[in-house]
């Protein structure tokens, strides 16, 4: 039976951490059973390179040094791999326990538990069980988009990417070449901010609109990454939350609670109607039409015309 990958990785990690001098590939191959069974040099070499990458993903700093015989050797120095001293009290430990549970994405959930386990090994207090809910709150970060993981890695490693993207109102996806800067989750949806090479400008992309695979491209970023990347402001603009004008509407008494909650001014207009002054931003026309006959737009004329157009489209539909 083939030796399990976890056993092989664990052996390699222990060998590299346990040695005081660099170990050559040959020495490692002779001391790890799975490598002895690897068969050809080629398959051993491929396996060894992959394993080293995997251990580096786990945070191990593996140095490559040439020894006296001119042979390449590897070691993971204790001092560069040790967690610096950290003292976390029981209350802080419980709070971190709550935070570690929020990810619903396999890679980050694994990484968060892994971090907690490393801290636990370093003496994180256990008297408060962090896996029990501390507050009544159970925050969860949803990740449903397949493009999330490759984009997260590309942002981390600063690698350009290419993907097909279908804009909200476009029939067909279009290929976009992007230097990815940051990912942000807002209202349960993930967005990517980055430099759009095709447009020559900063752009925000919604991950659910990425169709097909995200592929990493060779080469470096061509544009400096800004210190502060603002995703939320851009998305809020799409959602019509950056209203700079106001509108006057009639609303049937008792109806349209969310409109009332946003209103700057409400007054009774008689005959079962109220008059409201509400913020007027992008998308207000579509929202007002949802209320059907319970809303009448008074002004501005432009909004009134938009709402009437939409109603006509439904009426003849």
Partner 1 sequence: MATNAIDQTRRMLSLVTYLRERPGAHVSDVARAFGITEDELISDLDVLPLCGTSFRGGDLLDIDTDGDRIWWHNPDDVAAPLRLAADEATALLVAARAVSTLPGLRESDRQALLRATAKLEAAAGENAGASARLSVTFESEGGVFADVDRAISERRRLWLRYYSPARDELTEREVDPIRLFAVGHTYMEAWCYHSEARRTFRLDRVAEIKILDEPSSPPEIELRDLSEGLVQPAAEDPEVVVEVGPGGRWVAEYYPHDSADELPDGGLRITLRTPDPTSLRRLALRLGGDGHIVSPTDLADSARQAARVALAAYDEHDKNPGGSYDRQEQGR
What is the rounded end-to-end Cα distance, in angstroms, of the chain? 66
Shortest Cβ 170–partner 1 spacing (Å): 6
Give me the least distance between CB of 108 and partner 1, in Å please. Answer: 4
How far is 250 from 282, CA to CA, in rounded Å? Answer: 19
Alpha-carbon gap, residue 162 to 182, rounded angstroms: 15
Q: Which is nearer to partner 1, 155 or 178 (CB)?
A: 155
Angle between helices 148-157 and 106-121 (to 10 degrees): 60
Nearer to partner 1, 31 or 234 (CB): 31
Q: How far is the CB of 247 from partner 1 (least distance, A)?
A: 13
Q: Pseudo-torsion of CA 232, 237, 238, 241, nearest 10°? A: 100
**Cβ 200 to partner 1 shortest distance, Å:** 22
Nearer to partner 1, 176 or 259 (CB): 259
> Rounded to 5 degrees, what angle do the CA atoms 72, 74, 75 make?
150
Residue 122 or residue 243: which is nearer to partner 1 going by CB? 122
- By beta-carbon proximity to partner 1, the closer residue of 28 and 176 is 28
- CB 182 within 8 Å of CB 230: no
Min CB(125)–partner 1 separation in Å: 10
222 token code pair: 């061509």
- Neighbouring residues of 199: CB distance < 8 A, sequence distance ≥ 6: none
């Amino acid at each position: 039976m083939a030796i399990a990958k976890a056993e092989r990785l664990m052996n390699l990690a222990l060998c590299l951490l346990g040695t005081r001098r660099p170990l050559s590939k040959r020495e490692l191959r002779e001391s790890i059973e799975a490598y002895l069974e690897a068969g050809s040099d080629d398959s051993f070499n491929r396996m060894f390179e992959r394993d080293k990458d995997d251990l580096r993903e786990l945070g191990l700093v593996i140095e490559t040094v040439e020894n006296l015989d001119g042979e390449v050797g590897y070691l993971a120095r204790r001092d560069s791999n040790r967690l610096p001293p950290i003292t976390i009290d029981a209350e802080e430990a419980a709070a971190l326990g709550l935070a570690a549970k929020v990810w619903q994405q396999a890679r980050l959930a694994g990484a968060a538990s892994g971090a907690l386990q490393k801290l636990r090994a370093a003496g994180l207090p256990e008297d408060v069980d962090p896996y029990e809910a501390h507050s009544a709150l159970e925050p969860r970060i949803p990740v449903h988009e397949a493009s999330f993981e490759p984009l997260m890695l590309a942002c981390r490693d600063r690698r350009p990417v290419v993907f097909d993207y279908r804009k909200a109102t476009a029939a067909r996806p279009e290929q976009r070449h992007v230097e990815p800067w940051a990912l942000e989750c807002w209202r349960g949806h993930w967005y990517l901010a980055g430099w759009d090479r095709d447009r020559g400008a900063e752009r925000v992309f919604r991950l659910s609109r990425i169709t097909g695979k995200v592929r990493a491209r060779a080469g470096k970023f061509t544009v400096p990454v800004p210190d502060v990347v603002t995703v939320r402001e851009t998305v809020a603009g799409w959602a019509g939350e950056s209203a700079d004008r106001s509108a006057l509407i009639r609303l049937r008494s008792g109806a349209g609670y969310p409109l009332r909650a946003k209103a700057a001014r409400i007054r009774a207009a008689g005959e079962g109607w109220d008059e409201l002054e509400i913020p007027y931003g992008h998308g207000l026309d579509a929202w007002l039409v949802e209320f059907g006959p319970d809303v009448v737009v008074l002004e501005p004329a432009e909004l009134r015309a938009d709402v009437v157009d939409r109603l006509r489209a439904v009426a003849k539909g």
